[in-house]
Amino acid sequence: MTELVRLALEEDIGSGDVTTRVCVPDSQNARGVFLAREPLIVAGLQLLSEIFAQRGGVTELSLRKHDGDRCDPGDTIAAVSGPARTLLECERVALNFLQRLSGVATVARRFAEAVEGTGCRVLDTRKTTPGMRLLEKHAAAAGGVLNHRMGLYDAILIKNNHIAAAGGVRQAVEQAHSAGLPIEIEVRTREELTEALDSGATHILLDNLTPAEARDWIREIRGRATVELSGGITLENVRAYAETGANFVSSGAITHSARAMDISFRLELS
């Protein structure tokens, strides 16, 4: 997080905020508030202290909300007091992080609410902004969905290209057991499904099926494995997929298609 914030500030401020330098006296203090301008689920608040600290610090930072809180238009998210130059230099970077991460949290909350009562849980994916995965997955969790694996290193997900490279479903599953990590395998045909189950697979990924097709495949699995559905899952159809009997549904849209939420920063002299 520290390095990501450093890079973001360096990218924006560069050799210095020339507008602030020529317009604002070095001795001027100010107070600023971050305000929600639309209904949203806030996330990214843990970054504010780091952002201001890297530009010399502020007198006071008061968080009025916590990650995962619902905000209405006009709600104060956070307030900060300190050197006016510091507040102005950090304004855009702070807003960029808050707007982006609150967008992820807001979409995640909508997905979580859409499947309430089905017994199915929503997972995020690795379809994240490069360099921001941990932050975006934290925001997704704040919104109410579960984090899938963080990367290629913490769980095994055998997909079609792995199956091809390993020489088949059985070979891939048997070789994967040696790693001692959770194993999930994607199957594309009924034959692959049977082979995966016969090989001891306990977590099956079904990709790009319709809800009706998924329901039929899940009946065939008969509880012998945990089932995740993925592929083309949106807010409009996620409940239909959740009602098939699947344990999980995953959607890349939670992170790759979340829009920035409308949050503003208002400054006044103190």
- Of 193, 194, 224, nearest to 209 by C-alpha is 193
How far apart CA 78 and CA 67 sit, in angstroms, is 11
Residue with token string 């507008």: 19
Which residue in 127, 133, 215, 224 is the catalytic one? 127
Is residue 76 within 8 Å of residue 35, measured between CB atoms? yes
- Of 141, 135, 138, nearest to 1 by C-alpha is 135
Tell me the two tokens of residue 78: 């956070």
Does 10 participate in catalysis according to the annotation?
A: no
Does 219 participate in catalysis according to the annotation?
A: no
Which residue in 92, 126, 133, 188 is the catalytic one? 92
Residue with token string 């905000």: 71
How far apart CA 42 and CA 68 sit, in angstroms, is 6
Which residue in 12, 207, 243, 262 is the catalytic one? 207
How far apart CA 234 and CA 142 sit, in angstroms, is 19
Does 137 participate in catalysis according to the annotation?
A: no
Does 69 participate in catalysis according to the annotation?
A: no
Which residue in 17, 89, 124, 186 is the catalytic one? 186
Does 26 participate in catalysis according to the annotation?
A: no
Which residue in 64, 133, 159, 188 is the catalytic one? 159
Maximum Cα interatomic distance, the chain, rounded to a whole number of Å: 73
Residues recognised as catalytic = 92, 127, 159, 186, 207
